[in-house]
Amino acid sequence: MNKILVVEDDENLNLLYKSVLEKNNFIVFCAANGLEALAVLEKEYIDLIISDIMMPDMDGFEFAQSLRDANFQTPIMLITAKDSFTDKKRGFELGIDDYMVKPIDVNEMVLRVEALLRRAQIAHNKELLVGHTRLDQETFQVTWGQQTELLPQKEFLLLFKLLSYPDKIFTRHQLMEEIWGPDSDSEERTIDVHIKRLRARFQTNPDFQIVTIRGLGYKAAIS
C-alpha cells in the first residue's frame, strides 16, 4: 500500500484526512508542521505528501522548498485557505504537483492523490504510452501510427516530462533547472524555442497538445 504523509496543524483536519485516506487503503503518517514532517521523512519512505501552507515553525512553502532543494521528487499537494494566484504561482515554481483550496472535498482529494501516484509511477518508466503515441527514452524516438520522430535529447526530455504529468503546470524555470541543469548558461526563452519546435513536429498528432498557461508556463493536455 502507498504511504501518505499529511502535514496539517489543525488537529481535526489532520484526523479527518487520515481517516478518509485510511478508508481508501493508504498508510498515513501525520505531522503538525514542516519540521515534524522532515523527521517523519528521515524514518519512512513516503509516496506522496499532502501539506497545509499556513503552519507554525516551518510552513508549507518552506517545507516544499527544502524537499526540492534536496532533490526529493516525492509528489506534493498543497492545501490552503487562500485562493490566490500569487500563492499558486509560488507553489508551482517551487515544484509542487497539485493545489487544493479549503474547504476541500475529501473525496476529490482522494481522486487527486490517486492521479498523482499514477503520474509518479509513469515518470519512473523508460517508455511512455499516451493514447497511440509511444515515447522511448532509450532511443529518443516518438512513434504514432505510421510516423516516427527521432528527437534531439533536450526536446525529447522536455516532451517526456510534460507528458508524464498530464495537466500539471511546469514553469519555464522548473523545466530549465530539470532538463538543462541549474548551472546552465541558457536563458529561459530556450524553453519557448523548444516548445515551438515540438508543436511543429506534432501538430498532426491527435493524442496530446502542449498548452501555454499565461503567466506560469506549460502543460500537456491529453486528448
| pLDDT tens digits along 24-38 | 989 999 999 999 999
Q: Please give the grid coordinates belonging to residue 199.
A: 508543436
Q: How far is CA 47 from the centre of its chain?
A: 13
pLDDT at residue 123, rounded to an integer = 54
pLDDT < 70 stretches in the chain? 121-125, 182-183
H/E segment holding residue 17: helix 11-23
User: 28, 31, 25, 27: which is closest to 9 by C-alpha?
Assistant: 31
User: 21, 13, 3: which is closest to 117 by C-alpha?
Assistant: 3
Of 66, 90, 123, which closes a domain? 123
pLDDT at residue 122, rounded to an integer = 54
In the chain, the largest separation of any two C-alpha atoms, in whole Å, equals 56
The answer on 15 and 103 residing in a single domain is yes
> What is the tally of structural domains in the chain?
2
* Amino acid identity at 137: Q
Instruction: Give the residue numbers spanning the domain of 160.
Output: 127-222
The answer on 131 and 119 residing in a single domain is no
pLDDT at residue 61, rounded to an integer = 92
**Would the pTM count as exceeding 0.85?**
no
The answer on 184 and 111 residing in a single domain is no
- What's the CA gap between 205 and 163, in Å, rounded? 13
